[in-house]
Amino acid sequence: MNMEFSGKVAMVTGGASGIGEAATRAFAKAGAKVVFTYISSAKEAKALEAEIKAAGGDALAIKADLTKKSDADAAFDAAVKAFGTVDIVFTNAGGILQRVKNIDATEDLWQRVLALNVTSTFLTCQAAIRIMEPKKSGVIVTMSSLAAMSGGGPGASHYAASKGAIVTYTRGLAKELGPSGIRVNGVAPGLIATRFHEQFNTPEGRKAAVAQTPLGREGTAEDVANLVLFLASEKASFITGETVQINGGTGMY
């Protein structure tokens, strides 16, 4: 069994479903103590926490609205109280909320999407840095999207803009935190077979995307989780400031 992260504490935001759930499971399987947040998936979160513990691992599920500083800080305080520190953070939480043409988008939707994706990432990273900087070590992996490079699909310009901001924020953080021994990278998934695309895409749209994908399939949440674990590992010790695309070759952006 690969216990590469034994002795490490990993925080996964939005870790009860989709890519976040896959990352939570992967970190736990690799020996990490895992703290993961959720907002609406309480049943799934508690079941995942119990499953990891039953398998001999350590896990803590925390309900947190990471668009609020108080919730972000409280989540990290709970992680430190439970496990002593936080070594790795995957800022997975986010979403699109709805697809809408730019001309029809409301200011409220724009602000909520920016808060859900950008503000939550900022507040999560800020809370993590308070723990990581004093010990001069840590890894942050952010969540962007193929949309950041492509501009997004129909009705997704607001989402694409928020994910583009995360790419730039990742670079800025990497420059700022490198001297403190903290690496910051991101992942930018394309079409991944999760609830996100069941809700915000169509079967026809998914088939069309696969037809344009050189590897000829949708990605899986586990594909992305494997990349996150690589970036969090010592194998990636000289990589920082990068956002790695994982999309089967779509677009070659």
Side by side, which strands form the sheet with 138-143?
59-63, 33-38, 9-12, 88-91, 138-143, 182-189, 243-246
For residue 75, give the amino acid letter: A
Q: Which residues are catalytic?
A: 159
Q: What residues contact 124, with CB distance under 8 A and at least 6 apart? A: 11, 13, 66, 72, 89, 91, 93
**What is the per-residue DSSP string for 57-102?**
--EEEEE--TTSHHHHHHHHHHHHHHHS---EEEE----------G
